[in-house]
Amino acid sequence: MPALVALGRRWQIGSDDFVFPGFVDVLIRVSWVMAGCIIYWKEDDKLSCEGGHLIRLYLVGNFVVLLSIIFANIALVQNSMIGNMYETDARKNVVPCLYLRLMLTIPEIVWNGFGTYWVYSNTIICDQAPETLLLIKILTVSSWVLVFIMLCVMGVAFDPLGGKAHSFEDMDYERFQSSVLHGNSHTKLWERRCKFIMCSCVGIDETHRRAFRDIGKIVGYLFEDVDLVPSDLAAGLVLLNLKNNGALNSLQRTSQGQGTPVANSPKTKNFLEESSYEFETDRWHSPAVVAQDSSDYGKIPSVVALDSKNQQSHLNPIEGDNCCFCNTAALKLTTGVKDVDLLYASFENKVFQTPFFIALDHGERFIVVAIRGTMSLRDAITDLSAEAKPLDFPGIPAGCKAHHGMLLAAKNTFEKINELGTLQRAANNYPTYTVVVTGHSLGAGTAALLSLMLRSTYPNLRCFAYSPPGCLVTEEAANFCESFVTSVIVGDDIVPRLSVPSFEKFKNDLIRAIKESKTPKYRILVGGCWYLLMGGVPNLAYQENGGAGEDGRDSTPLHDSSQDQPNYHTYVSLAEVSHQMQRESVTRCRMFVPGKIMHVTERPIFESRPDLRGDGPRYEHRWASREEFSDIKVTPKMMHDHYPDNVYAALDDIASASSRSTFYSVI
């Protein structure tokens, strides 16, 4: 950090990123030199055959080339190890060493070409030295593989915008209009990347193009002012994880033994039992859940066989399933819903359209609408379309905004439900039943927004949102739905903490952590890997609050603020102002988790002693505020706590414990 400047452009690699590649390259070349010397020493007396002089010539020339590359790599690695990530001046000799290493690739390719021609064109015929011929063949093939890998690495490290000045210079009216309507080079670049990654899997139409533009705009705004390379992000995540763990351990030491018992009231029991059931209805989308019990493997074929033999056996409409109704069979097996109670199921999966089903639960007197979470690239596009758009539905306060992708998914589900009339007929046939909308992750966000749309028609509606995204609704909408939406978050789950403003803050925290660190990047990465695999605390040096102001924020501007204030009568300044306004409208619109929040956490004793599985409840719960989820926490469990199986296990543990013991919470 910052990115390396070489060959007249920026690259997505830092001057301190050559330690590991150079070290590995040295080991490979040394092994080749040793193998060549051993074979040459053993079979030198056998090289009097036809072409033997070419074998000697190749081995000697290859020895010289390999030694030159080894010494160049050692110099490159040594200079790349100097200083911390911000001390680029200390690594000023990296670029000359890199140029030398690249220049040595030319004689390597030329000499390898000669060796390939001599060995594979029968120029060398030497049956007396088969091991030598085999070694030369291995060396030539391996050299070509390394050259190919080097070219691939250069392609990955290539920055398409590395040769451009990231400014609004030479702006005329046409360019100004284009920048306002279609975004700048950063947004266009990320839009093209999204198309390249996803179009082969999801196709392309106007809906996809619009989604790609939105994604490109958001990602471009987030990364346009940051001079980071991928390895900087990895090192920064290690540093944040270590710092967060230090703060967490300190908090646990001060709060240990201060748990407050929560009354084991019927209301608490009922809520936990209902929420555990509702999450069960959302687990149908996870294949891992279907097969979590080995006894289920024997059940699946019989259910599928029944559906494949008689596709008309379904009493209610099923859309988007395959010819054997395998998805429907998995849904029935996982949830235990009877065919007569499965009122409707849609497995249609498109951008802004998520699968869902409507079912009856006579035991709890619920009419359940369950929406599937993220399982495909189409769902990922919906997730990433995170710009805030107006939430204009009857009964919702004016000015409320919601996640664009999930808002469109909720609208499509709402229109489908109204078109079918299934939910209305069920409500009429069972007037004492409560309409319950539920989902996990993407399904949770869609369910919460769908409940806002259905609330005026079904006043007794309830919504259970499991691990909902933190970028779902603005504060006004989140407060409005507290009476009927309950969000359940487990542990350090990253998704409820993830929003554009929180990512912006996380980005600044990451940059500050990198600035505070006085340890070279290679040591951070090695120490972080050792810490994650083996435990312990890496020996990393920090300069506390380095580059930070009194409020803890990074005082070093990401942009150079020393420039003159823009002249608002030029297209340059107009483009700058327009771009800044568009960027702030995306990055500064605060979004939150909807409704009332129940936070489920693992008891501290179980975090340190996972073997204590039978010693009381493993998890505890409490009501939390939305501000607690405004920052991203970097921990090893931030993804683990989001998986549906783990969420269900936590709720099941709490629901089971509610009937046998008192809950404790660190409120």
The closest alpha carbon to 632, from 476, 500, 540, 517, belongs to: 500
Active-site residue flag, 441: yes
8 A C-beta contact, residue 538 and residue 235? no
pLDDT confidence band for 527 (50 / 70 / 90) = confident
Query: Is 381 part of a structural domain of the chain?
Result: yes
Which of 575, 602, 630 delimits the end of a domain?
Answer: 575
Q: Is the pLDDT of residue 231 over 90?
A: no
pTM greater than 0.75 (yes/no): no
Residue 642 three-state SS? helix
Q: Give yes or no for residue 662 having a pLDDT over 60.
A: no
Q: Are 379 and 201 in contact (CB under 8 A)?
A: no
Residue 24, pLDDT > 90, answer: yes
Element (H, E) at 366: strand 366-371
d(CA 487, CA 592): 11
Boundary-marking domain end, from 524, 541, 575 = 575
The answer on 269 and 206 residing in a single domain is: no
Residue 644 falls within a domain, yes or no?
A: yes
Verify that 424 and 571 share a domain, yes or no.
Answer: no
* 173 and 149 belong to one structural domain: no
Average pLDDT on 149-177 reads: 62
3-class DSSP string for 194-244: HHHHHHHHHCCCHHHHHHHHHHHHHHHHHHCCCCCCHHHHHHHHHHHHHHH
| Residue 521 included in any domain | no
**179 in the same domain as 147:** no
Tell me the pLDDT band of 27, cut-offs 50, 70 and 90: very high
Q: Is the previous residue joined to 160 through a cis bond, with omega within 30 degrees of 0? A: no
How does pLDDT run across 386-406, given as a tens digit for each residue?
888 888 888 888 889 999 899
Give pLDDT, residue 393: 84
Q: Is residue 29 part of a domain?
A: yes
Percent of the chain with pLDDT over 70: 67
Specify whether 459 is located in the same domain as 569.
no
Dist. CA 552–CA 113, nearest whole Å = 58
Q: State whether 457 and 493 are in the same domain.
A: yes
Q: Is residue 234 part of a domain?
A: no
Q: State pLDDT tens for residues 32-55.
A: 999 888 887 887 777 777 777 888
Across 95-104, 202-211, 461-470, 648-657, least confident range? 202-211
- pLDDT given for residue 131 in this prediction: 81
Please indicate, yes or no, whether residues 65 and 196 belong to a single structural domain of this protein: no
Q: H/E element holding 440?
A: strand 434-440
Per-residue pLDDT averaged across 571-587, rounded? 50
Q: Using alpha carbons only, give the angle 11, 15, 18 rounded to the nearest 5 degrees.
A: 100
Structure confidence at residue 165 (pLDDT): 45
Asked whether residue 312 carries a pLDDT value surpassing 50, the answer given is: no
Give the ranges where 455-570 is alpha helix by DSSP (H). 475-480, 500-516, 521-534
> Hey, what's the torsion of the CAs at 143, 148, 153, 154, to 10 degrees?
110
Q: Which among 179, 441, 487, 517 is annotated as catalytic?
A: 441
Using the predicted structure, report yes or no on whether residue 163 has a pLDDT greater than 60.
no
Lowest mean pLDDT among 180-194, 363-377, 509-523: 180-194
539 confidence band (pLDDT: 50, 70, 90): low
Domain CATH for 458: 3.40.50.1820
Confidence of residue 413 (pLDDT cuts 50, 70, 90): very high
Percent of all residues in the chain with a pLDDT value above 90, rounded to a whole number: 30
Distance between CA atoms of 545 and 555, rounded to whole angstroms?
Answer: 10
Cα four-point dihedral sign 518, 520, 525, 531: negative
Contact (CB, 8 A) for 59 and 114? no
Query: Considering the domain boundaries, does residue 493 fall inside one?
Result: yes
**Claim to verify: residue 266 and residue 352 sit in the same structural domain:** yes
564 vs 137, which has greater pLDDT? 137
Same domain, 203 and 271: no
Helix (H, G, I), strand (E, B) or coil at 73: helix
Residue 335 has pLDDT above 80, yes or no: yes
Please check the confidence at residue 409 and state whether its pLDDT lies above 90. Answer: yes
pLDDT of residue 217: 60
Which of 493, 509, 554, 641 does the annotation list as catalytic? 493
Are 465 and 490 members of one domain? yes
Tally of domains in the chain: 3
Mark whether 321 is an active-site residue: no
Same domain for 172 and 103: no
Residues of the domain holding 489? 256-499+590-665
What would the two tokens of residue 534 be?
A: 């083996």
Residue 516 maps to a domain: no
Q: Does residue 507 belong to any structural domain of this protein?
A: no
> Which residue, 542, 575, 608, sits at the end of a domain?
575
- pLDDT above 70 for 183: no
Q: Are residues 128 and 262 in the same domain?
A: no
Instruction: Tell me the HSE value of 426 on the side-chain side, using a 13 A CA sphere.
Output: 27
